[in-house]
Amino acid sequence: MGSPQPLIFRKGLDMKEAVAGELAAAYDSATVDRVRAADFRHQSGRLTVHLAREFGFCYGVDRAVDYAYQARRRFPGRNVFLTGEIIHNPHVNDQLRVAGIRFLSDPDEQSHILGPDDVVILPAFGVTVGDMARLSAQGCTLVDTTCGSVLNVWKNVVRYAQDGFTSIIHGKVKHEETRATASQALKYPEGRYLVVLDREEAAIVCDYIRTGGDRAQLLDRFRDAVSPGFDPDRDLQRIGCANQTTMLMSESLEIGDMFREAIRDRYGEAELAVRFRAFDTICSATQERQDAVVTLLAEQALDLMVVVGGYNSSNTCNLARICAERVHTYHIADPSCLISREEVRHRPVGAPSTTTGMETITRNWLPRSGAVVVGLTAGASTPNNIVGEVIRKLDDFAASRESPDLR
């Protein structure tokens, strides 16, 4: 008898209503609802908080978390696993552990022994083609929460590969989503990829396209960021741009323009149409959150900005980058980082976003007297209850006698 076919749920598990109360209890916040209803403004004594008009859980994360809770209920008595973090938020991942979901990324788990009795939830940012094939071959029941916006990027990358274009992916090479996206490029024999982190790396590759250069040096620089057997002289002749959905929109667009110019310089205007492709693959939720902080910074005279979200959350780090250009910005993982009115623990803006350990403590972060105006936003993987707790802590630290009770 052959191994059973894997079940792949893509359209929901029909238990949405059953878990709605559980999700609301775990992640909603009356405080945030109240601030939102008050035109995204909270005033208490000397403190004013302006909340960005788009913040927190995006549609993809909302759905992924919902599916995870549904999966736990739908398969009672069976082991339910996540391949790793479902999203980059420590609080949400901890809550899922409490709900009984196990993480294959934990050192004591062994994914190779899973079989038809096991349920595996695939995260919002997807898994690699290889991991998907392996789990399917093992007969696991797969609950696929890959976000539609990520699937859209994959569709473009597969098309590039099919047509013999190398995917130039603006992203973080170690990020799960970028690894999954890059693996899509290898579905066809002609498929290739190269990942660039930022303008600086893009400029190096663009120079090579224009004038050639030291091939070995280029391959060494990008040794962990290219497809196997990558040949820059062959594989940079026809390119298509894509990005990790959570990168900085302005930077992605600029990088796309840099590559367009490089191809034009090398091959001429007439060749551009057959050698260069680009699609806008930043997701709308990321863009809306970035646009909202730009508007907030333009409209309000802020003393400081607080950005809440996991330190390995790409979209949160990029929100912090935007804010830090205009105002003192503290990227905090959760409310416990607001230690006291004297001290805040935070990730320095621009530090590597792949680590959860890089933090610093800043003293005297909150003005001691007089009116204080704080801007607040949260990454796409941060639930409202965390945002609500941050507002309450800000309130406590800036407290005056007339502060209303927000609990």
Stretch of residues binding ligand SF4 (CB under 6 A), selected from 58-66, 97-105, 129-137, 262-270: 58-66
For residue 149, state whether it binds ligand SF4 (rule: CB under 6 A). yes
Nearest approach, Cβ of residue 250 and ligand SF4 (Å): 17
Nearest approach, Cβ of residue 342 and ligand SF4 (Å): 34
Residue from 70, 167, 178, 286 touching ligand SF4 (CB under 6 A): that is: 286
Stretch of residues binding ligand SF4 (CB under 6 A), selected from 16-24, 130-138, 147-155, 190-198: 147-155
User: What is the number of alpha carbons within 13 Å of residue 267 lying toward its C-beta?
Assistant: 17
* 256, amino acid identity: G
Q: Which residues pair with 196 in a beta bridge?
A: 170
CA-CA distances (angstroms) from residue 180 to 103, 124, 131, 291, 316? 18, 11, 9, 27, 20
**For residues 370-389, which are near ligand SF4 according to CB under 6 A?**
380
Integer Cα distance of 339 and 336 in angstroms? 6
For residue 127, state whether it binds ligand SF4 (rule: CB under 6 A). no
Residue appearing with tokens 């894997």:
6
Catalytic residue among 54, 177, 201, 389: 177
Residue from 315, 318, 382, 385 touching ligand SF4 (CB under 6 A): that is: 315
Active site residue 271: no
Residue from 31, 245, 312, 353 touching ligand SF4 (CB under 6 A): that is: 245
Integer Cα distance of 302 and 299 in angstroms? 9
Residue 325 is classified by DSSP as: T
For residue 227, state whether it binds ligand SF4 (rule: CB under 6 A). no
* 83, amino acid identity: T
Nearest residue to ligand SF4 by CB is 60
For residue 59, state whether it binds ligand SF4 (rule: CB under 6 A). yes
Helices (H) and strands (E) counted in the chain, each on its own, are: 15, 16
* 316, amino acid identity: T
Q: Which residues pair with 330 in a beta bridge?
A: 306
Residues making contact with ligand SF4 (CB under 6 A): 58-61, 124, 147, 149-150, 245-246, 283, 285-286, 315, 380
